[in-house]
Chains A and B, each alone.
Chain A
Amino acid sequence: AQKVTQAQTEISVVEKEDVTLDCVYETRDTTYYLFWYKQPPSGELVFLIRRNSFDEQNEISGRYSWNFQKSTSSFNFTITASQVVDSAVYFCALSEARSSNTGKLIFGQGTTLQVKP
Chain B
Amino acid sequence: GAGVSQSPSNKVTEKGKDVELRCDPISGHTALYWYRQSLGQGLEFLIYFQGNSAPDKSGLPSDRFSAERTGGSVSTLTIQRTQQEDSAVYLCASSARLLSGNTIYFGEGSWLTVV
| Partner-B contacts on A (CB < 8 A) | 32-33, 35, 37, 42-47, 50, 52, 91, 95-97, 99-110
Contact = CB atoms under 8 A, between A and B. Distances in A.
Kindly list the 5 A-B residue pairs having the minimum CB-CB distance in the complex, ordered from nearest. Answer: A45-B106, A107-B43, A44-B108, A95-B100, A100-B100
Contact of B109 (A43, A52, A106, A110): A43
A43 B91 CA distance: 9
Interface of B: 3, 31, 33, 35, 42-43, 45, 48, 55-56, 89, 91, 93, 95, 98-109, 111
A99 B100 contact: yes
Contacts of B91: 45
B48 A44 contact: no
B88 to A, nearest CB: 12
Contacts of A96: 100
Given A44-B3, A44-B107, A103-B100, 9 more contacts: A33-B100, A37-B106, A42-B108, A43-B111, A44-B106, A101-B55, A103-B104, A104-B33, A107-B42
Contact of B98 (A50, A52, A102, A110): A102
B2 to A, nearest CB: 12
Contact of A100 (B35, B99, B105): B99
